[in-house]
Each structure stands twice: as structure tokens, then as C-alpha cells.
Chain A
Amino acid sequence: MKLLETRGLSRYFGGLKAVDKVDMVIEEGAIVGLIGPNGAGKTTLFNTITGLYAPTEGDVIFRETESLVGLRPSQVTSRGLARTFQNIRLFAEMTALENVMVGAHCRTRAGVIGAVFRTRAQREEERALVRRARELLDFVGLGRHADTWAKNLPYGDQRRLEIARALATDPALLLLDEPAAGMNPQETAALMDLIRRIRDSGRTVLLIEHHMKLVMGICEKVVVLDHGVKIAEGPPAEIQRNPKVIGAYLGQEASA
């Protein structure tokens, strides 16, 4: 099944075509890489898919039928898309556990009445939520740091916490924006393993990454953007040999 499809998706900032008529298909259960030189429009594409920006043109289709265009980011998330951010955006002065619990916001119901009267439903929901959040922290390997403030975690752990928080929204599609940025080789290897485990738990992953070893190692398909335009798409081995891609990364002369 096509989990997500963009049809002629464009986002312009004045005269700048940050994303220009991108057609992209993400099959359910895949790990797809989105690469391209700096300023190619990768993050803008993420922001347009997740509702942070309204597209100038085009459509985003989720599960082959539903259009995501016009939905607010929170609504997109509740449909089953979750993301992390390139520049880490954790809730700095909340504990790791609380960060993950916030992620489950749209999957929980308790309101003012429940909070004030601590109704049975609210207490059970809260208990289940804490259990689930701890599981997720264990899953990404942060179980020991549940009560540490997010801002006090080391950089690599912050990235993993962002992934746990996104997973708490129970997404069908997880969008990772440069998850390996600033990680050392060991951490990157662990991250690759983590992304595989996420996929094996039944989720689809779309990731932006500059770390080629990671992209080529785990992605089944790679989409290449340059100046907002999709210039290539295919299995990693093919992309590595694609002259257009080499040209985009190394300059035109190299491919000529």
C-alpha cells in the first residue's frame, strides 16, 4: 500500500521555489531516505507534509485516500505522522519521561474533569501512559534517564529522546530529520539498529540524512532533492552511480 504520496507538491517563499513539484511515493513498511545538498528543500518538504507550512501547490495523500493538505500539524500527527526536528526541539525543562508522555497527548483523552477528580478512567489512563512511556524509553535505550531533564541529556541521547517522543504518538509514518547529526560512529551504528527495529515493529520511516553510510546501509529507497526539485529516486546502489546526483553533490563539472 502507498502509505504516503505527494503529488506535485510545491512550496514557494516569494520567488524562491524551496520545494518544486515533488512527486514521491512511500510504500508501507519501507525505510526511505531523503537526501540532497544543503538548502535542497528537504526540511521544507518535511514541514509541508506535516502541516507546518501550507503547500503552494499540490497534494499530500495519506493511506491512498485522505488528503493532509489544510490540516494543522496537531491534526496531521493524530492521523499517524510523527516527526523529529533537525535542530532538536525537546521540552527542555521536562523530564525525559514527561517528554514522552506529552507525545502521547493525542492518544489520550483525560480532560479537566478527569484531572481534577482523578476519575478511575483518568488514573488508569495515566498508569498505562507511564508504563508505555517507560517502554519507549527502554526501546530507544534511555530507560535509566527517565527522570533527567531533557536539557541535561547528552546530545545523542536528546536525539534518541526525540525519537521516543515521536513514537509515543503511535505513528504509522515516522519522519526523522537528520537523526544522526552530531553522533559519533558507535552512536550512529546504534541508531541504524534502532531505525531498523522501529520499522520491524510495523512502522514506516522517512529520514533526511547527510550521513551516507547510514542512508546507504538501511534505506530501501532513496529520493534525491536539489534546488527543490526531485532529481533521482531509486535503490541506494543505483543512486550512488547516478550522474545527476553526483553532479548535485560535487558540482556540474564533476559529472561532465
Chain B
Amino acid sequence: MAAIVRRALDTPAVRPWALGLWFGLLSLPLMITSDPGYQDPYGYHGAHRALYVFATVVVVAYLWQVDQAIWPRLSPAGRKRVGIAALVLTVLTVLALRDVFGQALHGTLAGVGGEGLVYLLAGVFLVYALRGLTPDTTADGGAGPGVWQRHRRWLAPVGLVVLLVAPIFMNRYTADVAVQVGIYITLALGLNIVVGLAGLLDLGYVAFYAVGAYTYGLLSQGLGIPFWYALPLGGVLAAIFGVLLGIPVLRLRGDYLAIVTLGFGEIIRIVLNNWDEVTNGPNGILGIPKPKLPFEFVIPGVPEWLDPAGELVIGGVLRTPHGLYYVILAIVLFTVFVVNRLNNSRIGRAWIALREDEVAAEAMGIDTTKTKLLAFGLGATWAGFAGTFFAAKQSFISPESFTFFESVIILSMVVLGGMGSIPGVMLGAAALVVLPEITREFALYRTLIFGLAMVAMMVLRPQGFVGSARRAVELRGGDEPPAVKDEAATDQSLYEAQRR
């Protein structure tokens, strides 16, 4: 019986239907009991909408099979062409949604499947663009030079200009999303040091985020310390907490380490929640000042498309998301710069060695105590920066912002993007912030879509977006040596990957 089912599932013609059935049944309870479009969103709404899920999954699975049949046979040049075409399509789709080609097209697009669906389409294009334009590792498994490495000389300045000019094309909402992306990139890059490089599974990372936020919150309230002084202070304090957490867990590995760090994260949150005299408990801290620049220019008479008020204010108190965008941009650039240099240094190599084999690392003369504490400290620093900025941006912080779920999200960004890879982790952070935003109109289903995307991603491309096969042993479980054909498997069909 089991053998028959297995054979059936391995048949390309059957598999999409089976997958559709599976996901349809899984989502059935949700589909029956809730519909945000109704007056009364909860209650019996009929099972027919589970059919939509079924149909969607079947279509996606079929498309995936087509992809798997064609993609491996494409030549490198062919892949590049597909990548370029996909990149153009991505840009066109996004521009169309931003009304660049006029309302009519936007209206048509939105009419066809809703704005969110079009964004999803843009996301698919983007995935193909990345797939086509980022070469896989070289034939013998060595790290390929990569597009970035080869074109860094012009990609870096062009990218910087794009990032600096981008806010002009953003409204308040999109600028705010961009700021969120920045915060999470900083957090994810920090966690990447601990999890992705040093291979220490930290489930309480949000604690350091909270330390940063409360550093600024309390110092600004009590002593009136401005943001710019609190920022380095928040980083340093978070680093100290990172080392403090590191000391008791030095001897722990894998699951045990995860549990202790999880506990640590909760302890910080519960302390913040209950230490009323200092932290104001669950009521949080209100009225935290925004970052203020020591200068202020007002440029009057700017065209309306640049600023609706007709004047451009540069400097002063950074109240708008646009102003905050530049602050977080600076923080992100600083983070990327430092993390990248650490990554490619003696210390970075020691971290990776520690992750790959702790016994061998120790035997090669690496002081594991010092190296681990460095990872915890230097990882937590970025959460401290991000936390300080978060407090300034929100003006209000409470323990509610620093739950375990937040740690999980940040960890997901690292895993989804590709552990140890800086561009990958940045992409993961951006995806996990933007995806829930663009699926907003799916309302309740967006968690479902989110979950599906995560499951699909982990099954189909376990090494994350960016094909650095440098994954931690941590999530693969145990001290086993990594499987030799890890990398090659991703380009095989789904079925073969399953059979391994």
C-alpha cells in the first residue's frame, strides 16, 4: 500500500493533484470558519473556498514541474537571458503598479487579480531574475566569483545612488516599509553572525533588540540623552548583554543552546514587563524623541511630485519616514560594511571553523571560548543599534514588541535568505517584511500564504535564496558530516531530491 502511494506520488502527473489535495484539506478548517469579506468574519462560510486553495496549489505545482524540467537544461547564457528578461519584467510590473504608465494600466492589472497578486507576480519575476543572474557555484564546488564580485566597481556606486534617490518615489507608507526593511536587515545581519557564521542557534536574539530600545527609551526619558549618543551606547550595552548570555552557554550546543537562549530572551521580556519602577511595565515608555539633526534647511518651491507641501525640509527633527529612511540606511550600510569585513577576516574564518567542527577548531588552536563570546557580543551589537533606532522611530516601546515570535521571524530571515551569506540574509529580511505587506489584501489568508511560502522554500531550496551552500550543521541536526551532494541536489527535480 505504502509502496503504491509512494509510486503514485513520484509520478509527475499525480503529484500536483496530491499536493493540492493535501494543502486544500489542511486549509479547510480556516477556509470554512472565517472570511474577512463577510459582515461576520467568523462562522460557517462554505467549503468552496478550499477549492481555490486546491486549484492554486495544483497550478503552482504544475508550473514548478515545468520549471524543473526546463531550467536544468538551459545553458548558462540561456539562464542569463531569462534572468535579464525577468529583471525587466519585474521593473515593468512594479512601475505599472506605481502608476508610472498611467492609471488605466494599473486599473486593468488590479482588476485582473488584485494588486497583491500582481506584486506576487513581480516577486516571481524577481526570483527568476536572481536565479538567472547569480551563477551557481563552480563545477568543483568552490565558491564562484559571483556577479557582485566581478562588477563591484560600478554596482556599488550605482546601488548607493539608487538607495539615496529611492525615497523620492516613495509615499509615506512605502517609505515606512523601507524603514522596517532596514531595521530587520540590521537585525538579521547581526543574528547571522551568531547563527550563520558561528553556528550557535540563538532563539532569544530579540532580547538584545529590547536592550537597545530600552537603552534609548530610558536614557532619553531620564537624562534627556539624544539619539546620536544613545545609538552607540545601545550597541555597546547589547554587546555586553550578548557576552553575559554567552558565558553560561559556552559549553552548550545545538538543542540545549537553543533552549537556554530562548529562556534568556523570555527573561529579558518578563523583566521589562514586571519591573514597573524602571520600565513602566506593560504600559511601556511613551514620547521617546525622534532623531534630531543639528541643522535644518528648507528648500521652498519644489515641484509637487517631490513633496506635496511644496517645500523640502532637510535636517531638524526627523519626523517623517523619509527622514528616518536615511538614518536606517546609514545604519544598514555601516552594518554591511563591518559584518562583511569581519566575515572575510581571521575572526570570520574562526567562526565558520567553529560552526563546521568545534573539536577540530579547538585542535587547530582556536580559543573557542573567546571566539564564541566574540560572536555573541558582535552579533548582539547590531540588535542594539536596531533597537535604539526602533525606539526613536516608534516613539513608543513596550515589552510587547519583543516577543519570542520576533526572534523566530529574524531567524527565519537568516535561514530563508541563506545562512552565512550577507546578500542572502538581506534579501531574506526584505522578503519577510515586504511579503506580508503586499499580501495585506488577502487579509486572514496572508499568514497562510506566508506559511506556505516558508514550507515551499525550505523543501525546495533549503540553502536559502542565495546559493551559498555554507549552511550550519545546526538545523540539519547533530554532528554528522554534511552530505556531500547538498548543493547539486537543488538543481535536481523535486522527486529526486526527495528520494535522497
Identify the A interface with B (CB < 8 A).
50, 52, 72-74, 77-78, 82-83, 85, 89-95, 98, 101-103, 105-108, 110-112, 114-116, 118, 122, 125-126, 129, 145, 147-149, 151-152, 165-166, 168-169
Q: Is the CB of B341 within 8 A of A118?
A: yes
Spot the interface stretch: B219-227, B290-298, B344-352: B344-352
Identify the B interface with A (CB < 8 A).
138, 140-143, 338, 341-342, 344-350, 352-353, 356-357, 359-368, 374, 378, 469-471, 481-482, 484
In the complex, besides A52-B362, A85-B359, A111-B347, 5 extra interface pairs with C-beta distance below 8 angstroms are A90-B356, A92-B482, A93-B471, A112-B374, A126-B345
A22: shortest Cβ distance to chain B, in Å?
Answer: 21
Among A74, A118, A125, contact of B366 (Cβ-Cβ < 8 Å): A74
Q: Is the CB of B361 within 8 A of A102?
A: yes
Among A82, A94, A110, A152, contact of B140 (Cβ-Cβ < 8 Å): A152
Q: Which residues of A are found within 8 Å of B365, using beta-carbon distances? A: 74, 77-78, 82, 103, 105-107, 169
Q: Which residues of B are found within 8 Å of A92, using beta-carbon distances? A: 356-357, 481-482
A54: shortest Cβ distance to chain B, in Å?
Answer: 14
Q: Is the CB of B346 within 8 A of A90?
A: no
Q: Is the CB of B363 within 8 A of A83?
A: yes
CA A91 – CA B354 in complex, angstroms?
9
Q: Which residue of B lies closest to A92 (CB)?
A: B482
Q: Which residue of B lies closest to A88 (CB)?
A: B481
A246: shortest Cβ distance to chain B, in Å?
Answer: 34
Q: Is the CB of A74 within 8 A of B348?
A: no
Q: Is the CB of B345 within 8 A of A114?
A: yes
Q: Is the CB of B140 within 8 A of A112?
A: no
B61: shortest Cβ distance to chain A, in Å?
Answer: 31
Q: Is the CB of A115 within 8 A of B482?
A: no
A110-B346, A112-B342 are contacts. A151–B364 as well, Cβ < 8 Å?
Answer: no
Q: Which residue of B lies closest to A102 (CB)?
A: B353
Q: Is the CB of B357 within 8 A of A116?
A: no
CA A111 – CA B350 in complex, angstroms?
11
Q: Which residues of A are found within 8 Å of B140, using beta-carbon distances? A: 145, 147-149, 152
A105-B365, A112-B347 are contacts. A90–B357 as well, Cβ < 8 Å?
Answer: yes
Q: Is the CB of B141 within 8 A of A149?
A: yes
A94-B353, A112-B374 are contacts. A147–B143 as well, Cβ < 8 Å?
Answer: yes
Q: Which residue of B lies closest to A109 (CB)?
A: B346
Q: Which residues of A are found within 8 Å of B349, using beta-carbon distances? A: 94, 98, 101-102, 105
Q: Is the CB of A151 within 8 A of B141?
A: yes
